[in-house]
Amino acid sequence: MSTEAKTFTYIGTRPIRHDGADKVTGRANYGADINLPGMLHGAIVRSPHAHARIVSIDTAEAAKMEGVKAVITGDDLPETSAKLAMGEGALDLHDIGDNLIAHKKALYHGHAVAAVAATSLEIAREAAARVRVEYEVLPPVLTIDQAISPDATILHPEMVTRGRGVAPSGPTNVASRMELRRGEPDRGFAEADVVVEREFHTPMVHQGYIEPHACVARWGQDGRAVVWTTTQGPFVVRDGSAAILGIDAAMIKVIPTEIGGGFGGKITVYLEPLALVLSRKANRPVKMVMTRDEVFRATGPTSGTKVRVKIGAKSDGTLVAATASLWYEGGAYPGAPSGAGAMCCLACYRIPNFLIEANDVVVNKPKVAAYRAPGSPMAAFATESVIDEIARTLGMDPIELRLKNAVVEGDAAPYGPKYGPIGLQAVLEAARRHPHWQSPIASNRGRGFACGFWFNAGMNSSATVTLDSDGSAAVFTGNPDIGGTRAAQALMVAEELGVPVERVRPTVADTDAAGYTDVTGGSRVCYATGMAVIEAARDVREQLRARAAKIWNTDVSNVAWEAGRLVPLNGAGDKTPLTLVEVAAKASATGGPIVGRASLNVAAAGPAFSAHICDLEVDKETGRSTVVRYTAVQDVGRAVHPSFVEGQMQGGAAQGIGWALNEEYVFDAAGAMENAGFLDYRMPVASDLPMIDTVIVEVANPIHPYGVRGVGEVPIVPPLATVANAMRDATGVRFTELPLSPPRVLAGLMAAGD
C-alpha cells in the first residue's frame, strides 16, 4: 500500500548486491585484514577492578623487553574538554578520551590503563602483563538503586544533574534528567475506569557484532596519520581522534574497512587514538585487534534500565492518562539513551495527559553506546506490556485497542512536533489481516503483540556521482555499508540516470575523498545520504542537458530529460534524441568530465512504526521457551531494495528476541562481567528461530523524493514486549524483568503456583 502512485524503473527491484562477490569469496578487507610493512602489534592493560583509584603505573619492566617499541599510559593522551558536533548533538570528548585510557580512576572492570606496541602480538601481550599498576580499590556502584541511594559512592565528584528545569546539585550519580509533559495526568487518571501500573527491568546487553574492533594506524614523519578501521563513522574517528590528541583533523585520514556488524556499537573510538599514539612513539605502523573478551568488557553495550509505567483508560479502551519514569544506566560516564526512550515510549498513541521523566545514571560498568533505536526497546517493553494488560482487563482485542488510540497525521508526538503522513494505522490493519494473527493457536502456546516507534535521523550527508565516457557511473559517499546501502545508492543513481544498476559502481570513500558525512546509524543512510545521491545524480542530468544543448547548438531550455535520453523541444528544431551513452561519449569535446555533487543537512526525518506478532511455546517443567512463529510488519515509506529491507526487519527482530529471552550482562559482586564470550553470553543462532515473516507497508514519506523513511532501527523495538506478552498469554504470569531465561520463567511459574 502507498500514499503515492509514482512508479519506478529500478527502485523496488532486487539486484544482487555490488559487494556480494568480494564478501563471499573472502576478497573484502575487514579491520583485521590490513597489514603494513614493519607493522607492530598493540595490546592493552586493563583494570581488574570495577572502581579503583590509580596510585601508580610502572612500565619499566615492559619497556625493556626485547621487541617492545612503545608503552603508553594516560599521561600520553592529554585530557580534553572538547566537544565533537554530531548531527544535532555533541559528543563529550573528555569522557570518550578517559574511557579510551584511564587518567585518574579505573571506572569499570576492563577499563584500559596502559597500552604496549611490540614486534609480535605475543610479545605485546607479555609486556602488557608486566606493566605494574598499583590501585586503591573503591566500592563499586553496580545498580541504579545503588547509584541513587543517599549514601551512594560517587563516581565523578564534580558531576551535577543537568537538564531543563533542574536545579544543579551534586555530587551525584544522576548525570541528567529530562521531562515531557502534556495536559493534567492526575485529572486524566481520575477519569479512567482502568489503571495499570508496573515496574520493569532490563539488563545491559551487547550489540553482538561478529567482527571485533580492529584498526591499523600509521603516523608519518611529516606528522600526517592514516587510520584503517572498522567503523560506522570515519569522520567521527577522524575528528574525535584529532581532538583527543590535540592535533588538526586535517592531519588524519581515516579509511573505513568493510565492517562485520556494528548496530551502533562502532561509532565511537576505542582503539584508534591509542594506536596513533603508539605509532607516533614507535615511528612504525601499529595494529590493534580486540579479543572477544575485550569487546564485551570494554566496548559499549546498551543500558540496563528500570522503567515504571502507569496508564489509565476508559471502559471503551480510550487511553486518557499516562506517567512514565525511566532510569537508564549510562555506564561509567554519562550518555545513556534515556532521552530517546522518553521521546519514544508513548509515541504510538494519542494520550491527552502524560508526564514522562528520564534519568541518565552512571554506574561502574562499561560506558554505553548506541544499539539500534537506542533507548526505545526498553521503553516499549514497559509501555506495550501495560497496554497488553489494559486490553486483557477490558476484554479487548490488543490490536483493536491500539487502533482506537493510534496516532495519525496531524497528531502531536509526545516530544512536540506534529506527525506528517505516517503508517501506524496501516501497519496495525496489515497485522490484523495477516494469516498469523487470524490463525488459531495451540493450547500450550501463547501469542503476543506489540508496537514500536523510531524517529529516524537526517543530519549531514555528501555524495559524488561521476559519469564515464562509456555511460557507466560511479557513486561515492562517506557512509560505511552495514545493511546494503551500496546497492540502494546504486539503485538511486540508476533510477535518476536511466543506467542499468549493474553499471553503477558504489564506493565507500575515505575522509579525504568524500565530502563530510555523518555516521552510518539512526536509519539515516538510505534516507539522508540517499537524498544527497539523488541530488548529485540530478546534477549530472542537468549537466547532460547542457552538453546536449551544446551538441545541438541551442539553449538548454530546449532540452528535456526523459528516461535516460536527452530530448529536443521545439526550439531545438528537428534534432534526434540523444542517449546518455551518446552524450557521455562526447564529454571531452563538450566541456570535459561530468561529475555531479551534493551536500545537504536533512533537518527532518521520516518517523517509522512497526508491529510484531509472536507465538511462543513454553515448557512449564523447565521454563524453556521456543519462538515457533514470528511476523514483523513495518512502514518503510518506500522499499528501495525489498530484500535488504526484509533482512533489516528480520535482523532487528532476531536481536530483540535474543534480548527478550536470553541475553544479559552478568556481573559478580565486585563488578566483573562473568559471561564475556559467546559461549556464555547466549545470542540466538539460526537454529533457535523460525523463519521470520515480513510484511512491508509503504506509506510514502513526503520529505524524501522516493518516500523513504529508513528501516534499520524500528525492527528491534517491539520484540521485547511482543515476546513478553506471548509469555503472559502462554503462562498467565506477567513477567516484568528480562531476559525470560528458563530459570527466571521457572521461578515465576513456581511463585504463581503453576
Distance of CA 623 to the CA centre of its chain: 32
User: Are the C-beta atoms of 48 and 140 separated by less than 8 Å?
Assistant: no
What pLDDT does residue 87 have? Answer: 53
Instruction: For the full predicted model, state whether its pTM sits above 0.75.
Output: yes
User: Are the C-beta atoms of 610 and 635 separated by less than 8 Å?
Assistant: yes
Which cell goes with 489? Answer: 545508492
> Domain 20-26+458-602 has what CATH class?
alpha beta
Nearest Cα neighbor of 345 from 315, 297, 308 is: 308
Q: What does the DSSP 8-state code read for residue 171?
A: S
Domains of the chain, by residue range, sit at 20-26+458-602, 34-138+211-260+266-298, 305-456+605-751
273 half-sphere exposure, CB direction, 13 A CA radius = 31
User: Are the C-beta atoms of 497 and 583 separated by less than 8 Å?
Assistant: no
Tens digits of residue pLDDT in 86-134: 654 567 899 999 999 999 999 999 999 999 999 999 999 999 999 999 9
Which cell goes with 159? Answer: 558531576
Which cell goes with 254? Answer: 581515516
Nearest Cα neighbor of 657 from 680, 688, 681, 635 is: 688
What pLDDT does residue 86 have? Answer: 64
Task: Write the single-letter amino acid at 57.
Answer: I
Tens digits of residue pLDDT in 135-156: 999 999 999 999 999 999 999 9
Q: Answer yes or no: same fold for 20-26+458-602 and 305-456+605-751.
A: yes
Specify which residues 446 forms β-bridges with: 616
Q: What are phi and psi of 561, to 5 degrees?
A: -105, 125
Task: Report the chain's C-alpha Rg in angstroms.
Answer: 27
pLDDT lower than 50: segments of the chain: 1-4, 88
Considering the segment(s) 34-138+211-260+266-298 as one domain, its CATH architecture is Alpha-Beta Complex (3.90)
- Pairing relation of β-strands 354-362 and 319-331? parallel
- Other CB atoms within a 10 A radius of the CB of residue 405 amount to 17
User: Are the C-beta atoms of 725 and 465 separated by less than 8 Å?
Assistant: no
**Using CA atoms, how far apart are residues 316 and 208, in angstroms rounded to an integer?**
43
Q: What are phi and psi of 409, to 5 degrees?
A: -55, 130
Residues 6+ apart with CB under 8 A from 417: none
- CATH of range 305-456+605-751; options 3.30.365.10, 1.20.140.10, 3.30.565.10, 1.10.10.1590: 3.30.365.10
Which cell goes with 389? Answer: 494488560
pLDDT > 70 in the chain, percent: 98
**Using CA atoms, how far apart are residues 633 and 559, in angstroms rounded to an integer?**
44
Nearest Cα neighbor of 709 from 454, 431, 459, 374 is: 454
**Using CA atoms, how far apart are residues 391 and 709, in angstroms rounded to an integer?**
30
Which cell goes with 160? Answer: 551535577
Opening angle at CA 637, ends 633 and 642, nearest 5: 65
